[in-house]
Amino acid sequence: MTKLIRTTLTGALVFLLPIGILAFFAGKILTTANKLVEPISAHLPVKSVAGVSATILLALFGIIAVSFFAGLFAKSHIARSAVEKLETYFLGRLPFYGLLKSLSNDVIAPGETAEHPVVLVRFDDAWQVGVLIGPTMEGTHSVVFIMDSPTPQAGAVMIVEKDRVRATDIPLTKAFGALSARGLGLGELVKLNNVA
């Protein structure tokens, strides 16, 4: 019973906390953008479009424009180098950062090779779904995050022999969905004849 409560609370925090943080920052960004464009929108001939304030529309357009140019800058060598250093020295040390990064990459660029791919790990006669974190220093073992069901954000980190880990082509988002549904749909994603 205690494990169920702990797992449920952990899953809720891991799921709800990022949404709350995003909503908070989205509200702050929109409020700041509103304040910045109010002087400009006072000179516009139209006060609203389809019932939406011209100030809000101008603020949204500004946010989209800034995001577009930030995306262009993000592709530059300078930005990639800065992000790499930030991930190495700070973000990489945060729990679940790598997993969340893989999830977001899977949504943004489906089909690309994931930094932390979904794998199957053999335990006696059974296979478990996990996320490959990386090899050990010797290269003989792999560090794998074994996801729980129905809360795949929770689980256990294990170090297993490299030959017990098999790569899959399962996208992380689909693995999360199937494990959240207590395995429903996982059978269509796993090809065990390639894993024997």
pLDDT tens track of the chain, all 196 residues? 677 777 777 766 666 777 888 888 888 888 888 888 888 777 777 777 777 777 778 888 888 888 888 888 878 888 888 877 877 777 766 666 666 666 666 555 565 566 778 899 999 889 999 989 888 888 899 999 998 888 887 889 999 999 999 988 888 888 888 888 888 888 888 876 655 4
Which two tokens mark 158? 């294990």
Sequence-distant (6+) residues with CB within 8 A of 39 are none
Cβ-based neighbours of 149, under 8 Å, separated by 6 or more: 179, 180, 182, 183
Q: Are 175 and 110 in contact (CB under 8 A)?
A: no
**Does residue 133 belong to any structural domain of this protein?**
yes
User: How far is it, in rounded angstroms, from Cα 43 to Cα 56?
Assistant: 14
Reported as a single tens digit per residue, the pLDDT across 35-65 is 888 887 777 777 777 777 777 788 888 888 8
85 phi and psi, to 5 degrees? -65, -40
Does the predicted TM-score (pTM) go above 0.85?
no
Q: Of 54, 80, 108, which residue constitutes the final position of a domain?
A: 108
Minimal CA–CA distance to 168: which of 151, 137, 147, 138?
Answer: 147
Using the 3D structure, point to which of 79, 108, 137 is the last residue of a domain.
108
CA 172-23-19 angle, 5° bins: 30
Q: Is residue 130 part of a domain?
A: yes
Question: Are 44 and 83 contained in the same domain?
Answer: yes
| Shared domain check, 131 and 104 | no
Task: Please give the residue range of the domain that contains residue 53.
Answer: 2-108
Res 192: pLDDT: 67
Of the candidates 67, 84, 108, which is a domain's last residue? 108
Asked whether residue 89 falls in the same domain as residue 129, the answer is no
The answer on 186 and 100 residing in a single domain is no
